[in-house]
Amino acid sequence: MTSDIKTSSKKASESEPEKPPPKDYGLHPLVTEQAAKDIWLMLLTFRCINALLVRTFFQPDEYFQSLEPAWQMAFGPQSGAWITWEWHRQLRSSLHPALFAGVYFAADKAMIFLGFFPQFRAMLLVVLPNLLQAYFAAVGDYYTWQLAERIYGTGSKVSKAATTMTIMALYFWPWELSTSTVLGEGSDVSQQITAQAAPAKTRTGLFNTSRSLKHLRISLLLAGAACILRPTNALIWFSIFMPTLSGLLSKRAPLSDYLVLFREIVVCGSTILLISFISDYLYYGEWTFPPYQFLHFNISQNLAVFYGRNDWHYYLSQGLPLLLTTYLPFTLVALYQTSSQSSSDIRFLFTTTILLTLGSLSLISHKEVRFIYPLLPLFHILTAPTISAFFRAAPATSSSTLSNPPLARHNPLLAIILILNILIAGYTTQVHQCGVLSVLKFLRSEYEILALDARGLPLPKNSFDPTETFVAFLMPCHSTPWRSQLIHPNLHAWALTCSPPLHLAAHTAEREAYRDEADRFYDDTQKFLREEVGTRERPWPRYVVGFAGIEGDLRTWYESEMKGFKVKERWRMGNSQWHDDWRRVGDVVVWEFVDGSLGAEV
């Protein structure tokens, strides 16, 4: 009877068609290698040009949670960096800003050694973080494309449509442990294991080469770093690791592979934790673990809702449309199609990862579209075949794709989508919220004219008082970047704050009624100016920056209280045609207080 079962099992196995590996489309390995180099250079060039041309503001955290602490690391506590409450409460890992701090420090020392004037050094320090981020983005783009090639085949049209930012770790992860998808010749894993592989006794280990082991370690180190920097990234890696554990239980791969995997998880995880502990100790001056603090404050104390509450369907009704724009219909079709794939298919694994992450983040009251940005590469990889199939008809004959390429179709719709994407990209990178960045360039230039000579040396005190408050920002907190754009440490400034009520217990009437500094300013502008400006902490400055909506209250109060002085508009620039925060509507304006007896234009 046992023999019959074995025979039957063998026949069933032989009768199942083996999944063919993705095609390589007849490309010579040298051609593929050169194409990869060309694509990398193209991506890096594009990202650098894009980084230098972007002139709009996206989100405060891109400055206050990375560049400001990096500035303090590089130039010291007297450099004027704005360190927000999250850093004082040890909610953030120091690893991310440490990257920028190293670039700041090295570049500044090199420019000082070469004798660059401070004005020119300031210009370069402003753009350096953009170029570093451009490199990271290009690396993400490249490995998204490489991962798509492993799934769909080297040289396929589908994989080229999937180029976007992702985490390199997804590329290096040993997918053969958790999926039955056959990876193509572009795979960097030397031994490929599938559901239709030979019996276990004839299998060779997946990690029996130094190269495969190296790639596993790269993947684990990057995954660990991603989770340290943003603890919610653990949702993605939980979704990826569970099928691997399931594969162990089903004995899809030799036991030795899983022993190696768990050994490397322990070693690489411990390495990342050790680096994180040391870095945070050097920055904070004591032993701490920011991911725990992050979860404690945002979940246990429910402080995230202080920055807004969103409906449970936010990511479905707003997040995905904002993230995917014109790709959204194709992505929905792709998710529906891949959800019916075999559970051992890598595309099904990506789909479950997306759904689990979206579902988990939807349970949290405070939601932002940037929280689901790590899913964008997976969306694009899954969507690429749907877009490719929609706009490219299959060839009439079964000859090779290179000699008989697919026929283009739906060209008018494709043109509309491309034009819409170009318009959206142009508007969001050149127009929407450009004023809040341009105003800092104006202020920095004004300071250099008033306070520095032609060689960048400070002017005598009788020409410019280095202790004066140069500018105040009467805007919702973090409406503009800070020291990473102002640069000069003696350009003294202050701005409205919005720190949460850390001293008040959760779910109390006092916390619900709490109003931060920015709230109090917009609740009653003239009362705030009368009671909270002109103090030691908030002295009257040379310039005031604000959105156009406060001009009436500012002019009325100042000119009535400060007899003989006038409010003069010094600079104005459009910022955006719309905004979801009514306080940020209108132009960005710089006002100057002048002696009215001089007959200055106002």
Compute the distance between CA of residue 133 and CA of residue 47 in angstroms, rounded to an integer.
Answer: 9
* Tokens encoding 177: 């442990």
Q: Which two tokens stand for residue 336?
A: 């529906």
Would you state the structure tokens that stand for residue 380, as one six-digit string?
Answer: 């694009």
Mean pLDDT throughout 505-528?
89
Residue 547's pLDDT band (cuts 50, 70, 90): very high
pLDDT (mean) for 79-100: 93
| pLDDT 10s digits, 29-73 | 777 788 889 999 999 999 999 999 999 988 888 899 999 999 999
More confident residue, 439 or 28: 439
SS3 250: coil
Which residue, 167, 24, 507, is CA-closest to 303? 507
Lowest mean pLDDT among 6-15, 82-91, 102-111: 6-15
> Count of CB atoms within 10 A of residue 84's CB?
21
Helices (H), 114-174: 118-152, 157-160, 168-172
How far is Cα of residue 602 from the mean position of the Cα atoms in its chain? 42
Model pLDDT, residue 495: 97
Q: What separation in angstroms does the CA of 570 have from each of 171, 443, 493, 542?
A: 52, 11, 17, 11
Q: Which residues of 259-275 are buried (b: 16+ CB within 10 A; e: fewer)?
A: ebbeebeeebeeebeee
Express as a percent the part of the chain with pLDDT over 90: 50
The two structure tokens encoding residue 437 = 């960045």
Q: Count Cβ atoms below 10 Å from residue 21 Cβ, excluding itself.
A: 15
Q: Would you place residue 179 in the very low, low, confident or very high pLDDT band (cuts 50, 70, 90)?
A: low
Model confidence, pTM: 0.85
465: pLDDT strictly greater than 70: yes
pLDDT at 414 over 70: yes
- The DSSP element (H or E) to which 494 belongs, if any, is strand 492-495
333 versus 466: the higher-pLDDT residue is: 333
By C-alpha distance, which of 360, 338, 334 is closest to 349? Answer: 338
Res 255 pLDDT > 90:
no
pLDDT in tens, 212-229: 889 889 889 988 888 888
In whole angstroms, how far apart are CA 8 and each of 5, 99, 168, 198, 199?
5, 59, 43, 16, 15
Which of 81-85, 165-169, 399-403, 512-516 is most confident?
A: 81-85
C-beta of residue 122 within 8 angstroms of C-beta of residue 444? yes
Nearest to 15 by CA among 196, 214, 237: 196
Collect all residues with Cβ–Cβ distance below 8 Å to 559 and sequence separation of at least 6: 565, 566, 567, 596
Q: Using CA atoms, how far apart are residues 501 and 302, in angstroms rounded to an integer?
A: 11
Condensed to tens digits (0 to 9), the pLDDT of residues 526-537 reads 999 999 999 989
Q: What is the 3-state secondary structure (H, E, C) of 263-289?
A: HHHHHHHHHHHHHHHHHHHHHHCCCCC
Better-scored residue on pLDDT, 173 or 571: 571
Whether the predicted pLDDT of 290 surpasses 50: yes
Res 21 pLDDT > 70: no
Query: What sign has the CA pseudo-torsion 117, 110, 78, 539?
Result: positive
3-state class (DSSP) for residue 522 = helix
Contacts of 497 (CB under 8 A, 6+ apart): 477, 516, 517, 518
Q: Mean pLDDT in the chain?
A: 83
Ranking 81-95, 293-307, 337-351, 573-587 by mean pLDDT, the lowest is 293-307
Query: What's the confidence (pLDDT) of residue 177?
Result: 55
| pLDDT of res. 196 | 34
Q: Work out the number of other CB atoms within 10 angstroms of the CB of residue 250.
A: 11
